[in-house]
Structure 1
Amino acid sequence: MRHLLLAAATTLACAAPALSENRIDLIRPDAPALATRGTHPVGVRAQDFTDADRIDVIAAAQGGTPTTDRTLRTEIWYPAAEGTEPGTTYDTILRDGVTPTTLTGSAARDAAPAQGSFPLVILSHGYPGNRYLMSHLAENLASKGYVVVAADHPESTYDDQQAFASTLVNRAVDQRFLLDSMAALEGDLGAATDADHAAVVGYSMGGYGALIFGGAGLSRTALERTEPAGFAPPAGLLDRLAAGGEDHASLVDPRVKAVVAIAPWGRQHEFWDAGGLNDLTKPLLLVSGSDDDVSVYDAIRQIYDQTTATTRHLLTFDHANHNAAAPIPAPAEAWAMSESLGRAPFDHYADPVWDSVRMNNILQHFTTAFLDIHLKGDSGKADYLNLIPDAGDGVWSLDDDGTPDAAHTYWLGFPDRSAKGLMFETKPSGQ
């Protein structure tokens, strides 16, 4: 017994340094094939973009439509020049808005970009969140030949969380502003950015914004509701996002070629109806946990069913809740009690059932296939999305030489016994 205890203590001691690094770039040995890092080293730069004279939603609650300069602080990840030495840290804070933490990744701060021009991906966090919440995906995609930008959305971050109305009005507009800003970027990073081939990846309220930006205008119910408090921004400010309106039509952008919406918020409160969702024509990948009680899984399935003008996919993590796939693994500091929250911030990042790294890897796999198809024209990746719906029904069957035979129906790219607890459904445009 003493030997077992000593062995366990040794194992924990060896594991502690890795855990304390708060790594965002972990790839499990059983990860699906496209989760692995690409061939590019990765660079990262900080950049602020300011949208002058944006309507100030918070101040508008006091009357009128005042404006202010709205500054979005971003991180931009990108393929770096050959020979770039990997490794950087990100100093940030936890969900409680006060506790500092340091994340460790594989990007190199301010490295020179690789030669070439690379499609653009916009990452948009939830309410609250920050630009590092999906940094695992940012680094992963940059290594595969994408420029990825993630912003701190003002009034929607851990240390600047204000009235929900601001996020309702601003999120899709922020995403469009990021696209325009990246398209106008100059210098070596501007030369590396192909903003004419762009995608939006949004989590929770980021997913809400991505659907609007992608073409799904808001319903009359959303514009007219007054309860719960905060759902109705003042002065009709949501009207510009209404389905069928000229303002919304001008927001939607042909440079956006695909949308990934992870646990998108809104359908459970009738912020869209079938008509508004039918206006979304961008290829769509939806991701959800089957037990999501924030955005509500049945409502996300309604989005899947009602976006009939496009081909769309729904990836479901069985028994996962709202944190399915998007957030980084909970930093070590998030395991401790936070006085400001009255609980540990751990539950902001983690899922009670699923391992975060596994979910991150699965998201990296499917997002890579989806974006490679629609932003790079890589039709060979389509086989990774042509799957039997229930992974549990897959059959692993190989010939003597290790080649899949006629009975083999296991999900492509997943090692044997690793595609468990997952569903992947597809509906073509018109259905």
Structure 2
Amino acid sequence: MNPLFSMAVLALGLVCAAAQAQQSSPVAATAYKAGLSTLTVLDDRNDRPLDGLIWYPTKATGPTRIDFESAVWDGSDVIRDADAAPGPFPFIVVSHGMFGNARNQAWFGAAMARRGFVVAAVDHPGTSTWLRDPDQRRALWERPRDIARVIDFAVSPDTLPVRIDPDQIFMAGHSLGGFTAMALAGARYDADRIGRFCDATPLELVCGIFADWDIAQTPEDRDRMQDDLADKRIRAFAVFDLGGTQSFSDESLNRIDRPLLVFGAPIMNSGLTLDIEARALVAALPPKTVRYIEPATLTHFDFFNLCTPEGYGILAKELPGDEVVCQDGGAHRAAMHDLILNEVTAFFTQHLL
């Protein structure tokens, strides 16, 4: 069973979790506690509601709780609905991977809130754990627009429980969320290119996914997918082991002028092929815009939350094939989280105004 298709484990309640947040960093001291509130984007898109979570810095001392922990996933200390620190703070929007959800990078949200960032994540309709409508899934161009809608909402007065700086907006995306981030950075979908690629390599994971989802199969859908979906308000991007690089035109990738921190995972346990994904992306980008990191032991699922010691065995028994999401999901993943947090903090801090 391919783990990217089989994220139903999340819906069973085994994986409603955030990883244990990191407590210190050589890059930035943890000056705050992490507040956590639910997030609902209120706008005129009644056809595509957006709900999720927002983590933010707080000076409150309690009451703390371990949120989203389960038999499979560790939780992190947060203060639910705490009063926010005064702000304003830089703002990061996170896009989850295929059939994931806003909780997948909860470890990242809580840790970055402790470092003085506000982090928002929403469930993308059609491609999230509990929202799998085929028509919404086919409308893959809506994913970047979801992120733009979160930003629109966040910069409106008095919509969030915390003050953000509208000039300091960043984005992080994992897997399909990395594809979403690249579209917002200025990468343009090229139906002819991905068509030629998939004709030559039909067994590649992304080719199967796009075919199964009927991506860009009508002239109208093709035009929407090939639209310019960039959002110039986003200052810099962190791209976590993306999929879908071969669907972007080289010309559009070469024109991207905003900073990108790209992670590639050489331990390929997801079905993605690094040579045609993160490595190919970096080769097509202007060298001055990109920092590429490929830690030798990084896996695709190290961008998920920490697993409990029992998590791997539970998944192997309950959902054979899905246990890969908890492979080395304890101490090794915690070390990868430290590395990711420090790199992202340093990169985004470097690009603050």
Q: TM-score, normalised by structure 2?
A: 0.80
Q: Distance in 2 between matches of 1:141 and 1:22?
A: 17
Return 5+ residue gaps in structure 2 as ranges: 1-15, 199-206
Q: Quick one: which of 105, 109, 117 aligns to 1:146? A: 117
**1:138-177, aligned counterparts within 5 Å?**
138-163=109-134, 165-166=137-138, 168-177=140-149
Runs of 4 or more consecutive aligned structure 1 residues displaced over 6 Å after TM superposition: none
**1:347-362, aligned counterparts within 5 Å?**
347-351=324-328, 355-362=332-339
Does the residue aligned with 1:336 lie in a helix, a strand or coil? helix
The one of the two structures with greater contact order (alpha-carbon pairs below 8 A, sep at least 6) is 2
1:239 and 2:260 aligned: no
Residue pair 2:94, 2:119 contacting (<8 A) in 1 also? yes
Tell me what 1:76 maps to: 54
Does the residue aligned with 1:355 lie in a helix, a strand or coil? helix
1:195 and 2:166 aligned: yes
Tell me what 1:365 maps to: 342
Q: Distance in 2 between matches of 1:161 and 1:330?
A: 25
Residue pair 1:39, 1:143 contacting (<8 A) in 2 also? yes
Alignment identity in percent? 22
**1:394-413, aligned counterparts within 5 Å?**
none
Q: Distance in 1 between matches of 2:131 and 2:87?
A: 37
1:266 and 2:247 aligned: no
| Cα displacement (A) at 1:255 | 1.6
Letter in 2 for 1:158: T
How has the CA–CA distance of structure 1 residues 88 and 344 changed in structure 2, closer, same or farther, with 3 Å as cutoff? farther
| Cα displacement (A) at 1:309 | 6.9
Return 5+ residue gaps in structure 1 as ranges: 1-20, 54-67, 94-99, 378-431
Deviates further, 209-218 or 294-303: 294-303
Q: Distance in 1 between matches of 2:79 and 2:279?
A: 39
Q: Distance in 2 between matches of 1:197 and 1:23?
A: 25
Q: Distance in 1 between matches of 2:313 and 2:138?
A: 30
Letter in 1 for 2:307: A
Does the residue aligned with 1:45 lie in a helix, a strand or coil? strand
Alignment deviations for residues 295-324 of structure 1 (CA, whole Å, 9 cap, x no partner): 32112111111111742111102154322x
The structure whose Rg is larger is 1
| Cα displacement (A) at 1:104 | 2.5
| Cα displacement (A) at 1:210 | 0.2
Tell me what 1:308 maps to: 286
Does the residue aligned with 2:167 lie in a helix, a strand or coil? strand
| Cα displacement (A) at 1:158 | 2.2
Q: Distance in 2 between matches of 1:305 and 1:223?
A: 17
Q: TM-score, normalised by structure 1?
A: 0.66
Q: Quick one: which of 17, 25, 38 aligns to 2:20? A: 25
Q: Distance in 2 between matches of 1:107 and 1:161?
A: 29
Tell me what 2:259 maps to: 283
How has the CA–CA distance of structure 1 residues 294 and 178 changed in structure 2, closer, same or farther, with 3 Å as cutoff? farther
Q: CA RMSD in A?
A: 3.2
Tell me what 2:103 maps to: 132
How has the CA–CA distance of structure 1 residues 33 and 206 changed in structure 2, closer, same or farther, with 3 Å as cutoff? same
Letter in 1 for 2:112: L
Tell me what 1:12 maps to: none
Residue pair 2:153, 2:159 contacting (<8 A) in 1 also? no
Q: Distance in 1 between matches of 2:315 and 2:73?
A: 18
Residue pair 2:18, 2:103 contacting (<8 A) in 1 also? no
Tell me what 2:40 maps to: 48
Matched length? 322
Tell me what 2:296 maps to: 318
Letter in 1 for 2:349: D
How has the CA–CA distance of structure 1 residues 158 and 253 changed in structure 2, closer, same or farther, with 3 Å as cutoff? closer
How has the CA–CA distance of structure 1 residues 313 and 272 changed in structure 2, closer, same or farther, with 3 Å as cutoff? same
How has the CA–CA distance of structure 1 residues 264 and 114 changed in structure 2, closer, same or farther, with 3 Å as cutoff? same
Letter in 1 for 2:320: R
Alignment deviations for residues 143-198 of structure 1 (CA, whole Å, 9 cap, x no partner): 111111011112222233354943633221111111111112516625x1123211
Q: Distance in 1 between matches of 2:75 and 2:30?
A: 18
Does the residue aligned with 2:140 lie in a helix, a strand or coil? helix
Residue pair 1:169, 1:233 contacting (<8 A) in 2 also? no
How has the CA–CA distance of structure 1 residues 219 and 353 changed in structure 2, closer, same or farther, with 3 Å as cutoff? farther
